[in-house]
Amino acid sequence: MNHPLAQSRLTAMREVGTEPGSFRAALHELTTMLVYEAARAFPIEQYPIETPVAPTHGTRLANPPLLVPVLRAGLGMADSALALLPESSMGFVGLARDEETFEPRAYLESLPADLSGIPVLVLDPMLATGGSLEHCCRLLADRGCTDITVICVLAAPEGVARLERSGLPLRLVTASIDDELNNKKYIVPGLGDAGDRQFGGM
Ligand code: PRP
Ligand code: URA
């Protein structure tokens, strides 16, 4: 998303000296912009309303999405997304990437059993190898979801290619596609560990 305000929030998140409070504030604001951008594609419906002057037609989302933050780091995007989409419900997926194999380990799945006909907005700031987001989107597709929008702050080309290869019914909205992954599978130049930068190391 090549918008000056989005890029300035992303810059604050990238800078190594940004404190956790300022990092979280920049993530909240950037998430608002990314969700706003993603929502352009949402179907709407019209319904009758009355202004103080005359009857007319109002507009609302035809099918508000289920929001799914991927814990931990996606938690920092949840409030902003829900503020823009107050009609939405929220599910949760908890994944922790193994720092040796780089494979995601699932520790929480709190999702409706049947997602057929329900659009889903997945929130995770980082798409690196793509293992975590592919795992999350498979959980959704296994429940019948056919309309997934992934919102992330930063993506690596490797992760974008993996999601494309997955054949899953998804589209990606991101503020930047960075250069590459390093040998620890961190995004370069990136912003470091998005969970630790919000919540501190474990
Ligand atoms: C981070 C991030 C993604 C994942 C990306 O989470 O929030 O979920 O890594 O890496 P991948 O694309 O290579 O799978 P992490 O597993 O570090 O957990 P955390 O959110 O608890 O910090
Ligand atoms: N997870 C993060 O938080 N940052 C990266 O650069 C890669 C994975």
> Which atom of ligand 1 is found nearest the CA of 131?
14
Pairing between strand 66-71 and 92-97?
Answer: parallel
pLDDT value of position 168? 98
* pLDDT attached to residue 153: 98
Nearest residue (CA) to ligand 2, atom 1: 193
Say yes or no: ipTM exceeds 0.90: yes
At 68-116, the pLDDT tens digits run: 999 999 999 999 999 999 999 999 999 999 989 999 999 999 999 999 9
pLDDT confidence band for 201 (50 / 70 / 90): confident
- Contact between residue 61 and residue 98 where contact means Cβ atoms under 8 Å apart: no
Average pLDDT, the chain: 97
- Cα 102 to ligand 1 centroid, rounded to whole Å: 9
State the pairing for strand pair 148-155/180-181: unpaired
**Residue 186 beta carbon below 6 angstroms from any ligand 2 atom:** yes
Q: Which of 98, 187, 197, 202 to mutate to test the pocket of ligand 2 (most atoms within 8 A of CB)?
A: 187
Beta carbons within 8 Å of 150's beta carbon, 6+ residues apart: 122, 124, 127, 133, 137, 163, 170, 171, 172, 173
Q: Hey, which of 191, 197, 199 would you mutate to test ligand 2's pocket, going by the most ligand atoms within 8 Å of its Cβ?
A: 191
Identity of the amino acid at 119: P
Please report the pLDDT score of residue 202 as a whole number. Answer: 62
- Judged by its nearest atom, the ligand closest to the C-alpha of residue 187 is 2
Digit-coded pLDDT (tens) for 136-163: 999 999 999 999 999 999 999 999 999 9
Tokens of 108: 């929480």
| Catalytic residue numbers, as ranges | 97, 101, 193, 196
Residue 85, C-beta contacts closer than 8 angstroms, at least 6 positions apart = 35, 39, 61, 64, 65, 67, 121
